[in-house]
Structure 1
């Protein structure tokens, strides 16, 4: 078995569309840079003092993070997000709710239910789901779609599909999934090897990454990016975490200064007043500390008890299929597994090189109220000779939307 092939392509438009037109960037690299709200810079209203943050857990997610030097493809910057909790928490800050929703919609459906995962780790190389499940039932769920059995690897049953290149490996307590549409450098073997301790992990190869992730620990949400700059414009490795207690959410941001030039606490506090880094909505009290090469910023906000999940974050988890018939010049979308979706929420949008910023949503499923497993519909492209791809779009109400899936055509590359 060879590592996943990843077409070279610019995904900028699809990443933008996946944000549903809102001020939410959903590429993993942007998520972990923290730009997840429309808040202005903090300004001069924030207060500084001690914030009593609950401790983090052990960073067990690191077992699934192969060292960049151990793979052939580029992983610069290296970024990942880890969810230590996938149960819905609509009362949590938008940053947490948003990442949960987009991670859920990005994944194929494996018959478990997103809220039942014990841990999710999504990186440049793929997504790993840790959970307790019936392995035979998960295998049947995948086999009943257009995934095809591809053998075994280190005790995992592997499946592959080529419409939009994806692979999945099913083990006893972990599922490893890669997608050319969702991941920068998909590599199923690298993830399985790292999880088994048969490939060097990043924290074992890089002291800065080791210290940063040890400081961050495990959290309900953690995003890490090795290619960003701090509020004082120094290059850093960044870890951004959210934790909870009974009635409060805490955001903990660590900056690791690999060159050793950490700012003073006073300099970082001053820079935070002007920086455009987005802290959780409502944060106005901060604890800033510098310890050697690691600076830490902590803040807290009350949980919004009684709040319901906003429509823009109520996204379905479905295994979608899409095939292109060049003779008919048509794309067929299929719902293969997962949740039923209201038909009036599903549209399609065409990618056109001559109008890269233009977004049109067109009715897709007609004559039915619900789109469930087994349903399919066809998009005729014969009247759109410019189109290079078709995206499946989910309406979240009003002008809001989210791109669920896409298929390139006429010589385009999926991704």
Structure 2
């Protein structure tokens, strides 16, 4: 057959953009359809704008601490609209750069919704039908919105970037990374934050000591937590405020409710059934190690596959897809030892096995912990303590996990993750001369 395109990508997020431009660089005729903005969740309504809000939130304590360092800082007020609009402007700038990258690689950008009509067929929102030898699904995921009376009065992280004002009181549902990040953001902006969760555990995939330290610090800062509760209903009052009724605790009065209870793959109305593309019970596209679905001509990458919902993973998958299908260079993603971080306040990060996972998997396990106050916090008069932890295989001396909470933990962990991935031993860590005075030196001083 003669196809209109060698590759048609549905979804121009980080994974879709990488797959598109690399495939085009290998000589493929490529088009990518995006019904919203080029850049996807990470650039438009996720990692990037959220991290900018995190930076903005840090100034609340930095301005206070500056006085202890000799700076005569006057009383400062925070203007949410200024930060919000500057963040949205930066998002627009980045979308332009992503679009420019696609244009430079001669990828056709179709700014409308596209759906699958068969193994090689795509229908655009304007009614056009096009064909492609290969179709790549990279539609990502979206926040889960619960179902109960009054649930429509809540928002998700998508809408948080567009609020008219910072809510004086906000209830955040969930205890994962999005919930804890926005809890820290809103708290530093002056909101009274209540985090509610249906279980008694936050950040389940992280090491227990690290997540317990975050809970301790968060409570000390003034963030409230309600565990083992579920939503019953939300009532909107005449003055616009909300009354949140829950099973397991008393009603809470709030100005906003935000759901951060997970993300679900975007496959609704995509037409995957026309090509007999298999999906799982969570609505994710089922793929093999080469990102290929049950339909030989259709592939999927990123959050829509619900494997590892991280932007760098989607980018790796997009690269691997392009190299394998169009670059004559079979490539697969290694999902071992993926570092991750939570940009909470303070941030935490981890790579490799937690202590619990190591004890369940390995024979003998050793742990090394450094519990300390960062030098800046000492002079600033803050009692907030950092915690670094090494998890070591007792038989081989190999460092199988590093977990940390404290200022700049994600920045430090990126380099440390290389050591875990390389299989370095605790003895090799000990051989490294400490870089003093830094927080990172604690990684080579634990005995």
Give the number of the structure whose alpha-carbon radius of gyration is greater. 2
Q: Name the structure where helix makes up a greater proportion of residues.
A: 2
After TM superposition, the score normalised by the length of structure 1 is 0.24
Q: Which structure is higher in RCO with an 8 Å CA cutoff and minimum separation 6?
A: 1
After TM superposition, the score normalised by the length of structure 2 is 0.23
Q: Name the structure where strand makes up a greater proportion of residues.
A: 1
